[in-house]
């Protein structure tokens, strides 16, 4: 399968779908590519159908429509696109279901391994070094930006996100999430020593 053509489709769809960016530096396409890389890393540890995982990761955020869940819109776009490039119907069905479900991180429903991997990959993005960078950049564009304001934002992000480990669906996802939270905790400790 030619993933480069699919990546180009994703780049086009994420740029034109009208989904508002929280910040000018945040790119839905860049997020998708990081989720794609996380998904491959998790699949290498856990198994599962690599094509299903990769296609679901690449297409998971292509949809956006005001007033509708983006997973629902994305699943419709993904199913039509995958059908147009000749992917087997059974894989299309599975990928569509994964994309439809991927945002419901608190679900108690039975999930396929491929769905669990995508959910964990999506959760792992923007946790760790990327999260710290996001908070620093977001603070920098606010009025009265300062190192201390960035510190408080990073610390708050850590406090809010540490309990979200419960959303991880796999042991490998939990292990990676724990590593990222430890990285942030260590960063906060070092920053406190330098700021105060």
What is the domain count for the chain? Answer: 2
Q: pTM of the full predicted structure?
A: 0.94
Is 116 within the bounds of a domain? no
Question: pLDDT tens digits for 10-60?
Answer: 999 988 877 777 788 888 899 999 999 999 999 999 999 999 999 999 999
Question: pLDDT tens digits for 132-162?
Answer: 999 999 999 999 999 999 999 999 999 999 9
Find out whether 14 and 29 touch, Cβ atoms under 8 Å.
Answer: yes
Residues 28 and 83 in one domain: yes
Residues 88 and 164 in one domain: no
Of 62, 57, 60, 59, residue with least CA distance to 40: 57
146 contact partners, CB below 8 Å, separation of at least 6? 139
Residues 180 and 92 in one domain: no
Residues 149 and 62 in one domain: no
Residues 99 and 11 in one domain: yes
Residues 160 and 103 in one domain: no
b/e code 140-166 from CB counts within 10 Å (16+ = b):
eeeeeeeeebbbebbbebbeebbeeee
Segments forming the whole domain that contains residue 39: 3-107
Helix 28-46 vs helix 171-195: angle between axes, to the nearest 10 degrees?
130
Is 114 within the bounds of a domain? no
């Amino acid at each position: 399968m030619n993933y480069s053509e699919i990546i180009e489709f994703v780049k086009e769809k994420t740029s034109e779908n009208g989904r508002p960016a929280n910040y000018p530096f945040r790119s839905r396409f860049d997020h998708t590519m990081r989720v794609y890389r996380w998904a491959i890393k998790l699949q290498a540890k856990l198994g599962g159908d690599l094509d299903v995982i990769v296609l679901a990761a690449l297409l998971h955020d292509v949809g956006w429509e005001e007033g509708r869940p983006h997973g629902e819109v994305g699943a419709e776009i993904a199913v039509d696109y995958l059908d147009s490039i000749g992917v087997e119907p059974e894989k299309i069905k599975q990928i569509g279901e994964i994309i439809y479900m991927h945002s419901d991180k608190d679900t108690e429903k039975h999930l396929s391994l491929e769905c669990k991997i995508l959910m964990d990959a999506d959760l792992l993005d923007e946790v760790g070094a990327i999260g710290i960078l996001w908070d620093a950049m977001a603070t920098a564009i606010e009025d009265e930006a300062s190192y201390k304001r960035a510190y408080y934002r990073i610390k708050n992000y850590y406090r809010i996100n540490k309990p979200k480990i419960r959303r991880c669906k796999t042991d490998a996802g939990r292990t990676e999430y724990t590593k990222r939270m430890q990285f942030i905790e260590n960063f906060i400790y070092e920053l406190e020593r330098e700021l105060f």
